Amino acid sequence: MEMRQHQLHQFPIHYYPRLQIRKLLFYGVHEKAQKDIFSSLDVVINGETKTFNWINVTNPSFYPQISVIDLDADGEDEIVIVLTKGAQ
C-alpha cells in the first residue's frame, strides 16, 4: 500500500500567546486506494506530532479550517478543527 504525506495547512498562531504555540501544522496521509480522501491527519504543534484517524477530502478547497477561540468561556483558548468528509 503506497502512502504519501502532503502538507495541508500551515497556520502560525503567534497571535495567541496564551496557547504557547509557535507553529501549528497539518499533514494528510494519502493512501493510493482512497484517491480522494486523506485517511488520517498528523497534527504538529511546536514540533510534536500526533496522528489522528480523522478523514478529510484531498481537494485543497476543502482542507481543514482552523479556529482558535474560547469555546467554554473558561479564559483559555481551544483549537477548533473543522473537517470535510464529502458527500456519501
- Whether the pLDDT of residue 81 is over 50: the answer is yes
pTM equals 0.70
Q: Return the pLDDT at 72.
A: 94
Degrees, nearest 5: CA angle 80-40-62 = 55
- Which of the pair, 2 or 46, is modelled with greater confidence? 46
- Whether the pLDDT of residue 14 is over 50: the answer is no
pLDDT single digits (tens) 15-55: 455 666 667 778 888 877 677 888 888 888 878 899 999 99
Alpha carbon distance 27, 47 (integer Å):
13
- Which of the pair, 49 or 12, is modelled with greater confidence? 49
